[in-house]
Amino acid sequence: MMSGLTLRTAVQPPVRGPGETSNEAVAALLTVEAEATAEAPPLHVALVRVGAGPLVDEAVRGALRAEDRLLLADAPADSLTAALATARRLLGTPAAETPRIARVFVLAGDPLDDDADRLYDAVSALTASHVGLDVFVDGDGPDPGALGRLAAVAGGDVFEGDAPGPTMAERIAVLRRQRAAGLRIDLTFAPGIEPGALFRVTPTAAFLGSLRLTASERTLTIDPGPLAPGRPTALLLTLGVPARRMGVWRLAQVTVADDHGVRARAPLVQRHGDDPGAGRRVAADVVAARDRVEPVAWLEDVVQALPDGDHRRVAALLERLQRRFVELHREEATALVIEARQRFLRSGRIDADALDALRRYAAT
């Protein structure tokens, strides 16, 4: 089995008393990190512009090397779905023995018009082709929050700003250090285990979705995004675990693989036993990860509660956010949420800029 990767797993709580059933969901943390010794495959970037605006390619060209490829196009319509279809055509499907890191950069400056289901299918098709997605928003049009959720599903991110060139070049540098192409994480859950929500913790916090299994299909596949030395990807998932007898139990098998085979594997393990310290052992790394991603989920709840007019819920969520940012010593985020909260208490509204700024702070 090739390596070049390290995979670490942790489960919270790591030990439970036999027969114990807790109302608190079990949480598991998976961390994948590339080692520095592996070689970097070539980079293929499809840069697609949606709507009006300059086609930023000079900064990107300067960051690429001879073995890399840059493919440019304008999307045929003002929709992200059209842009992604264009990008997939440009990138094509390489031969199995030709490793590459494939990436789509979408440059969007105007409001986008997409059918939600078709857009989700387009992003899923990208993921299935081991192509990552980053969106560069230039202007006031697209909703960065919604785009961020989509990009996160494809292992990517949303970048805002009037001059996306330098940001793209930086992104190229990150992808350049990526040591694994077409990577996927397969999670095969044991019978009786019900996965809940999936979050990315690092490099940026994002809610990736609620996980659903069937009785026959117990494996989920996740795109970890670009992996580079010193830049691990950490994923947090919640699990429902039934009461169990004494023993060591595998909750899920984690396998990291690419088109060439399995790169790393490890079980998610929880012990039910007679350890006197059972109720006192803590996987502090899992708890810390959960603290980090919860603000992302709370902000999405705020976004949903606002149009419903549920002001009490919004106020409670903002207070919760403030407490968490204070706890994590995030001074700028704290100041931002205090200001948003005070404005909301006075006016009943939060403006879109403040909400987006909070989302960015929650993610980073």
Partner 1 sequence: MAEKGDRAGHRDEGEGEDIGSEHTLPGAAICPVCGLVGTERFCGGCGLEVLPEEATPTWPKVGERLDEGERPLELTLAIATTDPAARRFVAVDADGARHDVFVAPRSASDVHAQRAETRAVLGEAALSPTWAFDRGDLRFTVTRLPADASGVAERLASLVADRMGPEPLDAVRAIALPFVRFLAGLHDDGYFFGALDPADVLVDAAGRCSLRDPPPIHPVDRGPLSPGQRLVVPGYSAPEVGGRGGGRVGPAADVFTAGAVLYYALARIAPLADIADPHERLPPPRVYFARVPPELAAVAMRAISPLARRRYADAGELLSALEWAIRETERRRDAPRRRLHLDIGHELHIGVLKGQFASVNQDDLFLAFDGRTGIGLFVVADGVSISEYGTGDLASSCVRTAALQTWRQLCNGDVSGDADTGEVPSSPRLPADDAGRRAILGRMLDDANGRIAGLVHEAMPRFPGPPEGIMASTALAALVDGDRVTFAAIGDSRIYLVRAGHIASLMVDDDFQTQLLRMGRAPSAARSVPSGGALVRCVGEFDKDADDRLVPVPLEPEFRELHVLPGDTIVMTSDGVPDYAGLDEEDAEDRMRKVVEAAPGAPWAAFELMVLANRGGGGDNIGCVVLRFGPPLGSGDDGGA
Quickly tell me which residue has 């913790």 as its tokens. Answer: 201
Quick note: the x/- pattern for partner 1 over 56-85, rule CB under 8 A, is ------------------------------
Smallest separation (angstroms) from partner 1 to the CB of 338: 8
Point out which span in 52-60, 116-124, 172-180, 270-278 binds partner 1 (CB under 8 A).
Answer: 270-278
Tell me if 265 contacts partner 1 by CB under 8 A. no
342, 349, 352, 364: residue in contact with partner 1 (rule CB under 8 A): 342
Does residue 240 bind partner 1 (CB under 8 A)? Answer: no
- Is 334 a binder of partner 1 (CB under 8 A)? yes
Nearer to partner 1, 261 or 276 (CB): 276
SS3 234: strand
**Cβ atoms of 28 and 236 closer than 8 Å:** yes
Give CA separation, 317 vs 22, 167, 312, in Å.
25, 32, 9
3-state DSSP assignment of residue 7:
strand
Stretch that binds partner 1, among 108-116, 143-151, 276-284, 305-313 (CB under 8 A): 276-284
Give whichever of 77 and 269 is closer to partner 1, judged by the CB atom: 269
The tokens of 156 are what?
A: 């990517």
Count interface residues toward partner 1 (CB under 8 A). 42
- By CB under 8 A, is residue 276 in contact with partner 1? yes
At how many degrees (to 10) do helices 144-153 and 116-128 cross? 30
Task: Report 178-197 residues binding partner 1 (CB under 8 A).
Answer: 190-193
Tokens 């810390």 correspond to what residue?
288
Alpha carbons 95 and 189: distance in angstroms, whole number: 32
327 counts as binding partner 1 under rule CB under 8 A: yes
Checking DSSP bridges between strand 69-74 and strand 261-272, what pairing results, if any? unpaired
Between 162 and 329, name the residue whose CB sits nearer to partner 1: 329
Least distance to partner 1, CB of residue 294, Å: 12
| 57-92 burial: b if 16+ Cβ within 10 Å, else e | bebbeebbeeebebbbebbebbbbbbbbbbbbebbe
Q: Is 291 in the site for partner 1 (CB under 8 A)?
A: yes
Which residues on neighbouring strands pair with residue 221, listed in sequence order?
186
Q: What are the φ and ψ backbone dihedral angles of 245, each rounded to 5 degrees?
A: -75, 175
272 versus 359: smaller Cβ distance to partner 1: 272
Q: Which is nearer to partner 1, 262 or 282 (CB)?
A: 282
Least separation in angstroms between residue 13's CB and partner 1 is 10
For position 25 contacting partner 1 by CB under 8 A, the verdict is no
Task: Check residue 322 for interaction with partner 1 (CB under 8 A).
Answer: yes
Question: Sign of the CA dihedral 361, 362, 363, 364?
Answer: positive
- Return d(Cα 242, Cα 240) in angstroms, integer: 7
- The residue ranges that bind partner 1 (CB under 8 A) are 10, 12, 14-15, 190-193, 245, 247-251, 253, 267, 269, 271, 275-277, 280-288, 290-291, 322-323, 326-329, 334, 338, 342, 346
